[in-house]
Structure 1
Amino acid sequence: MTEEREPGFQEPIEYEEECENCEVRVAAICQSCGMPMNSAADYGGGNEDNNCCVHCCCEDGSLKSYEEVHQSMISLFMKTRGLDKERAEQAARDYMATMPAWIGR
C-alpha cells in the first residue's frame, strides 16, 4: 500500500548526496524552513538524523511551534527582503504552507 502524501511534500534530501555529473555535495534541506544543512551544527539538536535545522528546533532537537518559526521567518523576510511587517507575515505564511513540516496547517 502506497502512503499518500500531501501535495508539495518533499522527501528529505540525503546528506552529502552527490550529483552524478559533477562533484557537488547536495545538503539536506530543513523540512520546516528550507535552509540547507551542511554540517552537524546546522541540524536541530546537532543530530544529523533530524529533518529540521537548528533555527527551527529547540536545543533538544524538537521542532519549535508554528508560531515561533513563523515569527522568526517574518523577521528574516523583513531584514533580507525589505518587506513591511504585513507583507512579511503573509510571505512567511505562504512559504511555510509549502514546507513539509507545515503542510496542512
Structure 2
Amino acid sequence: MTDQSTKEFYSVDQASQHAAEWCKRNPAWRRICDIPDISVFEKTYDEIPKRERAYWEKNGGEECWREFGIGRTKVPTGFISGKGEFFEHVLKVPLHHNMMMVYRVGKRWKP
C-alpha cells in the first residue's frame, strides 16, 4: 500500500536503518530498540503535575492517563521516517513512511 498523494512507501526496516544512521550522526540520541529499559525516561503517574493528575482523577485515573495522556516522557523524543527524515511528533510522519522512535539521552544534537 502506498500514500496515494505521493506514491511513497517506506518499510519498517528502512526506518530502522535510517534511524541507526541518524543516531550515529546525532550521538545524543538512541533508537528505542537500542535502549534496554526505556522506563527510566518515562514519567510515572505520581510525577505528573497535581493539576494534571486532578484532571485524570476525574476522568478515569491512572489507567486512562496511561492510555490517553501526553507528555509522558522526561526526555525529548522524535521519529525517524523510512525516508530518513526527523519528526518531533508521531502525527507529523507522512502516512506509509513507517518510523522508528528515538530518545534524546545526551546533550549534543545537530538539528
TM-score normalised per structure 1: 0.23
Higher strand share: 2
Higher helix share: 2
